[in-house]
Amino acid sequence: MNDMKTPTRVDKSVLSVTTTLRAHQREWWSDLQQRVENGEQFVLAGASVPHEIFEAMDIPYVTDVWYSGIVAAKRQSGYYSELLERKGYHAGLDRYSSLAYAVALDESDTPKPWGGLPRPALVVTMGAVGGSEAIARHYGVPHINLERPIAAHPSVAWWEQAHYAWEDLEESHRIDVLASQYEALIETCERVFDRKLDRDRLRGILDVVNEQESCFEDVRRVLQTAPKLPVRLAEVMSQVMGIQWHRGTQWALEQARTFRDEVRQRAEDELWICPNEKLRLMYVGRGLWQQLEFLSEFEESHGVVFARSNYLSIACDAYPHYGMRRPVRTLAARYATFNDYLHYPPWGGAWAAWEARTHRLDGAVQLDSGDHGVKFILRALESEGIPVLNLPTDPVDSRAWDGEKMRALMVQFIETRLAKEK
Amino acid sequence: MASASYRPSRAPLVVNAGPTIPLEPFWAAGCRVEVVEGIPGGSTEAGDRYMEDGLEVTVRSVFDQFVRGTWDEADLIVLDRSYRDVYYYLKELVRLGLAPGLPKLHLFDLLLTRDLPVQRYNAGQVEMLVEAVEYASDRRLERAELQNALVRSDEVRAQYRQLNEQRRRGVILGSEALRHIAVIRAADPSYQVLELQALNASLEERVPVDRPRLLLVTGDTSDVLALHHAAEKAGANIVAEDYRWGSRTAVAAHIEDADPVAAIAATAHRDGNGPELTPFSARIRWALEAGAEQIDGAVLHVSPNDRVLGWYLPELCAALKELGVPVLNLVEDAQSSESGIALHDAIRTWLGPAMMPGTRLKEVS
């Protein structure tokens, strides 16, 4: 329990939208808890699930990894990881999406992050990751696990086709089988929540999502082209994901517009987060949600900034899908490969290398979390002349964090490999 | 564990890995068939240059064999979705020009979910598998040939069911049964029927072995044999295991359908097992059924690299205990020699000195 002490943190936020995001999240969460207390039901959903269907049906939903991120940010992940082990779930199991389950299992008086997770009415996941099925069993509620068909004929530069030519990219039979699973999900939602899906509304929500993602594309363009970095990556990651979990709402669209405008303005005003910027790094793989501030620790000492993460870039490249004749199919096309683009070959490496070029990067850091495909990504980056550092830690489990060791590894990487390349 | 070849060497060779791949199309086309599995304790050095250490030993070992060129003589490699990593990685090696000798790769993507509509997609996967076999064998497969393969396959299944019964009687050690299966499992059905008939007849003559009968569930199929050896060394006998090339060979006859492709798809879906099977209730139904009768205890094992089964073990453990089946949970690397000793010690301690054959075990911990 020693990791549950309130940590001392230096707030390096430069955007006003960071404050409005935090306020909105607290307000939304408190509202959700109140609604659930009043008898309303909600869905606990995985990250790669079509949240837009819930939005179109006015069904509240919470994303499991968002809640895991909250647990990690509160530095309670170590406590909850140990609790899972005490309950019989061995230490090698993934914690990224499972901390919500751990919180549900905790019968002690320990204060739960943000007051704890209320009982959902339905659990929906893609690929049965982590404790998703276990949490449904724990609460005795239905669980739907969507199965993603595998792409047998991968197209390397997927990001060039994803927005418009998705029928060719994802193949019709794969889109069809996922769409038929979504139809089954819709039927379940209609039964459990006693309401009907309005497909015109769903179409409208997808249009809003496309517009929101285009704001993110504008932000990415600024980060790629501005002479120096106008905003810290930790702030970008928090902002992007905070908005993504509410995508399709008017709030999310307005927040994304304001975010874009603020970043643009800072670049126009030449307000750089590290005026002494010398080296630009990218961040590959899952976020270091338990230690986001770590990314900015090398600005003053070494002029190092982090300019790119998966989170903004996947929002720009994988989310927007145009062509809404059959909106459920359009959504299915988005998720037919999705996560696999992030790390599996050939996609993960080709995408990372392209991103490194367009962001003018000098190096990369990735969490050595054993993600599939990592070695091919490293190979692709290094063949582009981008050195990569593996940080041996976990995205959310604070027990795996050794700050001194990580700092030493970073300094050695910067002073030896990056300086040499430069 | 490569099985015996039975066809003239000019017959096309199909190599496959994954618990959901139906062998009937290969048999119908007269192919030689090899099943690729992880090599227990084998080096994975060649594959580890490209594949992450955290992946299951079986996956790394199968990948390593392809990278080394062990199966380059094949005409076709078929992998199922539980080997998606191997498929993607090999495709990438081909694209990068790093695996010039690799045969044609085919992905058989049978979706196993019990809750969602996947039948049409699965039938399409069987159609594509048949096309891949036709390409490899350079001939068209008639529906009647597929139908005939199903009939012959059902005869084999009946023999495997008999073998399972003999195992339950305790007349054969689990490791011996697995060795027999490994030798014949991919051979032509007629050959398998003859071999299994002879084996089952010889087992009729045997006196039951006086050992506790155990059920085994493990997360990594490379560990199955090591766990058998550990149990046998501890004085017990594993009579059922959640493993396609063990007790899972004893499946029911094919689902009847006028279209053999539909019959293959529906049957493969019904019989499907392994890490891709959801939901939880379907995943453990087999173990609960197997645990309900003639079992003295269950060994539930996960290796340190396990990422899936561990999520189900507490629930499975509780369900078995509710049935009155004592359970031993093991989280060990079954491949190292040190672990071999630790495993059989753990099983022996659990069995206890007062254990009486044929009765339920008293739980030690």
- Nearest residue of A to residue B121 by CA position? A177
Residue B17 contacts residue B66 (beta carbons within 8 Å)? no
Alpha-carbon distance A281 to A294, whole Å? 13
E-assigned strands of chain B? 13-17, 32-35, 76-80, 104-108, 213-218, 237-241, 297-302, 327-331
Q: Using the beta-carbon criterion (under 8 Å), do A150 and B49 form an inter-chain contact?
A: no
Q: Hey, is the C-beta of A150 within 8 angstroms of any chain B C-beta?
A: yes
**Predicted local distance difference test score (pLDDT) of residue B293:** 73
What SS3 state is found at A128? coil
Confidence category of residue A295, pLDDT binned at 50, 70, 90: confident
d(CA B25, CA B260) in angstroms, rounded, equals 10
pLDDT value, residue A129: 62
Helix, coil or strand: residue B101:
coil
**A128: pLDDT confidence band, cut at 50, 70 and 90?**
low
Instruction: Count other C-beta atoms under 10 Å from residue A211's C-beta.
Output: 14
Of B245, B311, B249, which is closest to residue B284 (Cα–Cα)? Answer: B311
What number of other Cβ atoms are within 10 A of residue A48's Cβ?
19
- 10 Å CB burial of residue B100 (0-12, 13-18, 19+) is exposed
Tokens of A110: 């320990």
Q: Closest Cα of chain A to B156: distance in Å?
A: 31
User: Looking at the predicted structure, is the pLDDT value of residue A341 above 80?
Assistant: yes
* Chain A: residue whose CA lies nearest to B125: A173
For A144, A174, A293, B302, B314, the CA distances from A104, given in Å and listed in that order, are 19, 35, 28, 24, 16
Q: For helices A347-358 and A310-317, what crossing angle results, to 10°?
A: 100
Look-up of token digits 């910067």: A414
pLDDT at A73: 81
Alpha-carbon distance of B287 to B338, in angstroms, equals 28
Interchain contact B92–A (C-beta under 8 A)? yes
pLDDT for position A1: 36
β-partners of residue A363 are: A281
8 Å CB contact of A89 and B311: yes
CA triplet A298, A304, A309: central angle to 5 degrees? 100
Q: Pick the closest to residue B247 from B307, B314, B178 (CA basis).
A: B178
Indicate whether A317 pLDDT > 70: yes
- What global pTM score does this model have? 0.92
State percent of chain A over pLDDT 90: 75
CA A213 to chain centroid: 14
Weakest-pLDDT range from A159-168, A219-228, B282-291: B282-291
The verdict on a CB contact (< 8 Å) between B120 and A177 is yes
| Residue-level pLDDT at A283 | 85
Which pLDDT score is estimated for A2?
A: 36
Q: At what angle do helices A233-244 and A310-317 cross, to 10 degrees?
A: 40
Asked if B116 lies within 8 A of A173 by C-beta distance, the reply is no
Q: Has residue A4 got a pLDDT over 50?
A: no
Q: What is the pLDDT of residue B278?
A: 78
Is residue A177 within 8 angstroms of chain B, CB to CB? yes
Residue A225 is which amino acid? Answer: T
Contacts of A143 in chain B (CB under 8 A): 279
What's the CA gap between B286 and A286, in Å, rounded?
36
Cβ atoms of B80 and B17 within 8 Å: the answer is yes
Q: What is the pLDDT of residue B56?
A: 85
What is the chain A residue with the closest CA to B106?
A152
Q: How far apart are CA B162 and CA B201, in angstroms?
A: 10
Least confident piece of the model among A92-106, A114-128, A293-307, A400-414? A92-106
pLDDT of A130: 60
Within the 299-338 window of chain B, which residues sit less than 8 Å (CB to CB) from chain A?
302, 304-307, 310-311, 313-315, 317, 329, 331
Torsion of CA B147, B153, B154, B160, to 10 degrees: -170
Q: A85 CA to chain B: closest CA distance, Å?
A: 10
Q: How far is B162 from chain A (nearest CA, A)?
A: 35
Contact B52, B80 (CB under 8 A): no
pLDDT the model gives residue B21: 97
- Contact list, A382 vs chain B (CB under 8 Å): none
Q: What is the mean pLDDT of chain A?
A: 91
- Please, how many CA atoms are within 13 Å of residue A169, restricted to the half-sphere of its CB? 24
* pLDDT for B40: 85
C-alpha closest to that of A69 among A245, A271, A198: A245
Per-10-residue mean pLDDT of chain B, 365 residues long, equals 49 96 97 94 92 89 97 97 97 96 97 92 98 96 97 98 95 97 95 98 93 91 92 94 94 96 97 80 79 84 86 89 90 76 88 58 43
Q: Which residue has the tokens 């903004």?
A: A312
- pLDDT(A159) > 50: yes
CA distance A132 to chain B (A): 9
Q: In angstroms, how far apart are the furthest CA atoms of chain B? A: 62
Name the β-bridge partners of A367.
A391
Q: Does B280 reach chain A within 8 Å, measured CB to CB?
A: yes
Q: Which residues of B fall within a CB distance of 8 Å from A285?
A: none
Q: Which of residues 185-204 of B touch A (CB under 8 A)?
A: none
Interchain proximity A152–B109, CB inside 8 Å: yes
Q: Would the CB atoms of A145 and B315 count as touching at under 8 Å? A: no
pLDDT, residue B9, reads: 55
Average pLDDT over residues A229-255: 95
The one-letter amino acid at B16 = N
Q: Rounded CA gap, B231 and B225, in Å?
A: 10
Q: At what angle do helices B224-233 and B337-351 cross, to 10 degrees?
A: 50
The pLDDT, as a whole number, for residue A8 is 43
CB-based contacts of B124: which residues, under 8 Å, 6+ apart? A173
Work out the average pLDDT over A183-207. 97
Pairing of strands A304-308, A363-367: unpaired
Q: What is the pLDDT of residue B360?
A: 53
Tell me if B91 and A345 make a contact (CB, 8 A cut-off): yes
Q: For residue A243, give both structure tokens.
A: 């908005």
pLDDT of residue B239: 95
Q: What is the model's pLDDT at position A127?
A: 83
